Each structure stands twice: as C-alpha cells, then as structure tokens.
Structure 1
C-alpha cells in the first residue's frame, strides 16, 4: 500500500479506535503515573488511588487506638492517702459481673469523703440497699461514691476537696472502705488514672 493510501486509511478509522491508540494527554507525566486512556486502561492511576486508600485506612486505625490514661489532676477522696483494697477490673461485656471502680480503705466508718474535683451533685439517694452520691465534673466525667451518706442535694456545687458525705459500714467485709467509680459518658474508666500517673513510661536517650 502506498503512503498516501495508508494515510487515508488512518484518517477513515472510527474515532473510538483512533483514540484508544493514544493517551488523552500528550504532555509529560509524573514518574509512576499514567493518564487513563479512552480504552479504559487506568495504568498507574489505580496504584495511586490504592495508596490514598491505604493512607486513609491507616489514619482510621490510628484514631481507633484506645487513648492512654489521663494526666492526674484530681485529689484523693480520702485523707490520708488511702490504700487500694480492690483494683479496677471491668467486665469484658457490659452485662457481665466485674469491678467497675476501686475500693479505697478508710481509717474507720464515719470518716469524710471529699470531692476529687470541682463539680455539681447530680444524685443523692439509695441504690438497692446502700447510700450513693454522684458528682458531675463536666466533660462527661462523673464520680460515684458508696456507701456514703450525704446531706447535700442534687444541684449543689462542690469544690475540689470539699466534704460531700461520710462512709457507712457495709461494703468491705474486713475493713472500712468506700467504693469509687468514675464514668466517662456511659463507660466506666479507672478512677486511679485521675490521681496517679498511669501513663506508660518513655525511655529517653542518655545525655552526656
């Protein structure tokens, strides 16, 4: 076939066939990237999209990591600093049994319990068979103490260190104690993280 005839044959090809033979853009492209063609080839563009998806998934996984313990900024609710008789041991499922707070040893029954942080009394009353007082500290945090009798009423503001009631017998069989629970929203969290530094230790490099 002579050259003029060949040129005419190319010009008479359907547009879809002609466009499939060449990229949509003729300019220089970044390394590792290929402009999609009309024939449907995505080339390296698929790889770039996959990289974006992987990065987004990594960010989501990082956001789902459970936050570390808070920096301690509250006061102990008993004086002197009490011994922890029973630690925080929440159940694996909300409906299972467990220990959703800590038991703190008191010198004797009748000692005062103080508010670990400023807040507002949100509940005072009897739950099942024991007196309970709950303090709303804001930011979704609430402290509950039992068995504690109080003369305060719901809505009363309290300052950090202010007496909120007295311990009565009945919780710990072998000694006087108070059960302290803390909730963040609807979830129980370890009260000790607010009075002790439970954050993981970080090793720093030695300096000369």
Structure 2
C-alpha cells in the first residue's frame, strides 16, 4: 500500500472515531465545581501504578474551614460518615459515577437526592493538606478512580504540533521490497 493511501486511511479513521467517540469535554456536561468560586487545585491527580499502590486518587481544592461543598452533578447520597478519622460524603451520580469529598460534614443521609450545585456539606475536620485546609475530591467510574478535573472541563486538551520536514521524511516507511 502506498504511504499516501496509508495516511489517508489513518486520517479517515481519526475523523470517523472523532464523530463517534465523546470528546474530553463531553464528560463535563452537567457537572460543576464542588466549590464556588472556582477553587485553585492545590493537590494534583496522581494515580497509582496498581490499584493497591500508593497514589493520590483525586484532587485537592483550596478552601478554608467552613467552606460550603456543593454537588458537582445531580445524584443520590450513598454514604455519609467517618472513614478512619475523617468525615466523608459520597454521591452516586448514576451511570457508574460516584464522587466523594473529605473532610466534609453533612446533614444529609444515604438515599437523599441532590441537585447539581446544591449545598451538600461543609469542610470540617482534619485533612491531608496541612498546614492549610483543602477539599479532597475523588471520582470513581465503575469502581476505578478517574481524574475529577475531566468532569468540569479543567484538563488541558492535547495539541498536535507540526512535525519538522526532516523528521517526517525519516519517519516514512520504506516502500522498497527486497
């Protein structure tokens, strides 16, 4: 097959997949930040290499004690209580998505329905952002932790840069047969 045909075929595949697969921003529809105004991200997403290994399975958002925490999307409270020494609130958003917040005290109970943007709790207790306070926000999709920032459109999009001609020529497959 000629290299031009290969490139054309690859381009068509990318265009077709681009139409059928959701864009990174598509997941953000219907979600909002759990703090207002938009907080600074003070602790980045750092997933572990294996499910059981050490890592940061969420993001830390800058906020002071007593900050109001809001539901990032509509859902149902699935847990409110203590995990080890921290108050935790978990919301089930349906479709396999759950978000959790700590340290957050809430007057809600499991089974309570919440709407997007509704106040669901208050930042209280000891977290892991010493010496300051922060809200830890985690999101799970079908039990696996994912970066919460994708749901609020805060991930930078990938940008393809042009390849210099000398590198492009070197990357072309050889079409000569032995």
Show the counterpart of 1:133.
Answer: 89
CA distance in 2, matches of 1:202, 1:120: 40
Alignment correspondent of 2:142 = 185
SS of structure 2 residue aligned to 1:165: strand
Distance in 1 between residues matched to 2:24 and 2:103, nearest whole Å: 27
What is the distance in 1 between the residues matched to 2:92 and 2:160? Answer: 33
Q: Which residue of 2 aligns with 1:123?
A: 79
Normalized per residue, which structure has more strand? 2
Unmatched runs of 5 consecutive residues or more in structure 2: 1-16, 162-178
CA distance in 2, matches of 1:125, 1:89: 25
In 2, distance between residues paired with 1:168 and 1:177?
10
- Which structure 2 residues correspond to residues 168-183 of structure 1 after superposition, within 5 A? 168-171=124-127, 172-183=129-140
Higher relative contact order (CA 8 A, sep 6+): 2
Paired residues for 1:38-57 under 5 Å: none
Alignment deviations for residues 153-195 of structure 1 (CA, whole Å, 9 cap, x no partner): 0000000000000001311102221100000011100000011
| Pair 1:158 & 2:119 matched | no
Deviation at 1:202, TM superposition (A): 6.1
Aligned to 1:104: 61
CA distance in 2, matches of 1:149, 1:125: 8
Contact 2:76 2:113 in 1 (8 A): yes
> RMSD across aligned C-alpha pairs, in angstroms?
1.8
| Structure 1 residues 194 and 173, CA gap change in structure 2 (3 angstroms) | same
Question: TM-score scaled to structure 1, two decimals?
Answer: 0.62
How much does 1:69 deviate?
3.6
Q: Which one has a bigger Cα radius of gyration?
A: 1
Of 168-177 and 111-120, more deviation after overlay is shown by 168-177
Superposed CA deviations along residues 40-82 of structure 1, whole A, max 9, x for unmatched, are xxxxxxxxxxxxxxxxxxxxxx9xxxx8745222100001110
1:194 pairs with 2:151: yes
Segments ≥4 residues shifted beyond 4 Å: none
Give ranges in structure 1 of 5+ residues lacking alignment: 1-61, 204-208
Q: How many residues align?
A: 137
